[in-house]
Each structure stands twice: as C-alpha cells, then as structure tokens.
Structure 1
C-alpha cells in the first residue's frame, strides 16, 4: 500500500488533534484557585490558558509520534495482516 502525501497529512492532523486534547489540561489553573475572580465569569475559567506554548508542545509531541508511526509503517510493523491479527479480526 503506497501512502500518499494527502493521507500522511490527514493522519498527522488526526495525531496532532488527539495530542492537543491531551495537552490542553496541563498547567491550567481556574479563577477559583487564584486571587481575584472577575465578576460575572465562571469560577472554572482559566486564568492564563497559555495556548501558544500548548500549540508548540502539541506540534513537537505529535511530530515525534508521527515519525515513530511512519518508521513502524515502513519497517513493516504496521501492516494490515499484523494489525488484524493483534486486534483479533481475521483478514
């Protein structure tokens, strides 16, 4: 199976999105944990989301994970026979 650039980009985007949702809660402090809550806001609203740092970390982690997946694919560890046997679905 030949992997095209479009499918590689789609897989990278899915990996990036999953890593983003994994990284989002790290380091978040709600307004109820800090001093001075703004009137009319939710107590759980973050004080500083630091989205720039989270986007950078997401890109670094997902790039490393995608590189590992791509290596496993080209080394033959992620072929359809091996994955279907590991999952238990006959192919």
Structure 2
C-alpha cells in the first residue's frame, strides 16, 4: 500500500469512529438542569470534543493497525473477495 492509501484508510476509519464516539457520555441541558436561554433543552451541556477526539484517535489507530496488518499480510486480498463474492478475478496473476 502506498503512503497515500494508508492515510486515506486511516482518515476514513477515524471519521467513522468519531461518529460512533460522539454520542457517548452526552448529558443534555435539561438533564443537568442548566438550560441556556434560547437553546434546545436537549442540547449537550458540555460536548467534551477534545476528549472525544483523543478517544477517537486511540480507537481509530488500533483499528487501522489491524486493517493494515490484514491487508499487508495477505490475509485479505481482492482475489479472496472475488472468490467469496463469486465474481471474475479482479487482477491477473
């Protein structure tokens, strides 16, 4: 894999992980009892975006290392996927 491919794979994993991590630990203003005038009562009282970015980075890095290991080691390739999906070979050997 090229460096650009590795970066793109990491970026995709990071964004998907971020959207999975964002709802964790969210406390609404109505739950906390401190509703700011003019805001939605269910809006987060404190987003903790820096903490969530760090958690996302740690989780995404672990997933990315596993994905890179699987791809680079040859445990998963386009040919294996083609055989699994019963389609013609994607690359010529």
> TM-score surpassing 0.5?
yes
Runs of 4+ in 1 over 6 A off after TM superposition: none
TM-score by length of 2: 0.88
SS in 1 for 2:20: helix
CA RMSD of aligned residues (A): 1.1
* Structure 2 unaligned regions, length at least 5: 89-93
TM-score by length of 1: 0.90
Query: CA separation in 1, counterparts of 2:21 and 2:33?
Result: 25
* Aligned pairs for 1:3-82 within 5 A: 3-82=1-80
Aligned-residue offset at 1:89: 4.5
- The count of residues paired between Structure 1 and Structure 2 equals 88
Corresponding position of 2:87: 90
Aligned-residue offset at 1:69: 0.5
Query: CA separation in 2, counterparts of 1:45 and 1:27?
Result: 13
* Residue-by-residue CA offset, 1:48-80 (whole Å, 9 max, x unaligned): 100111000000000000000001011211200
